[in-house]
């Protein structure tokens, strides 16, 4: 699985399991993710890429408002469809 900045991912492990994030940056060992509320673009959460599941592809978000908007619209779509992105 190739994660890129802007991808919407779901946490599969840890205290934040099942939480949606947007990938902000990628480092050699970690993927930095933000949700625009608790984890901001200025202080993203480092996650192991093995603990993330790709949900959807989105445009690169540069502000916390963009991230909140993307995730809120994604939450509404998942409630209607109940689906996960398959590629």
User: What does the pLDDT look like over 50-74, one tens digit per residue?
Assistant: 999 999 887 888 899 989 988 888 7
d(CA 58, CA 66): 11
Query: Under a CB-based contact definition with an 8 Å cutoff, are residues 84 and 55 in contact?
Result: yes
- As given in the structure block, the two tokens for residue 29 are 């060992």
Q: Confidence band (pLDDT; 50, 70, 90) for 83? A: low
Quick: pLDDT tens for 31-42.
999 999 999 999
Query: Under a CB-based contact definition with an 8 Å cutoff, are residues 46 and 32 in contact?
Result: yes
What is the CATH class of 8-81? mainly beta
Cα-only R_g, the chain: 12
pTM: 0.82
pLDDT (0 to 100) of residue 52: 95
Quick: pLDDT tens for 16-31.
999 999 999 999 889 9
Residue labelled with tokens 């840890």 = 14
Map out the domains of the chain as residue ranges.
8-81
């Amino acid at each position: 699985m190739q994660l890129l900045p802007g991808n919407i991912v779901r946490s599969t492990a840890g205290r934040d399991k099942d939480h949606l994030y947007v990938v902000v940056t990628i480092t050699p060992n970690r993927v930095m993710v933000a949700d625009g509320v608790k984890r901001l673009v200025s202080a993203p959460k480092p996650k192991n890429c093995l603990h993330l599941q790709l949900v959807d592809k989105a445009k690169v978000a540069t502000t916390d408002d963009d991230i909140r908007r993307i995730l809120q619209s994604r939450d509404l779509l998942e409630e209607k469809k109940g689906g996960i992105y398959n590629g």
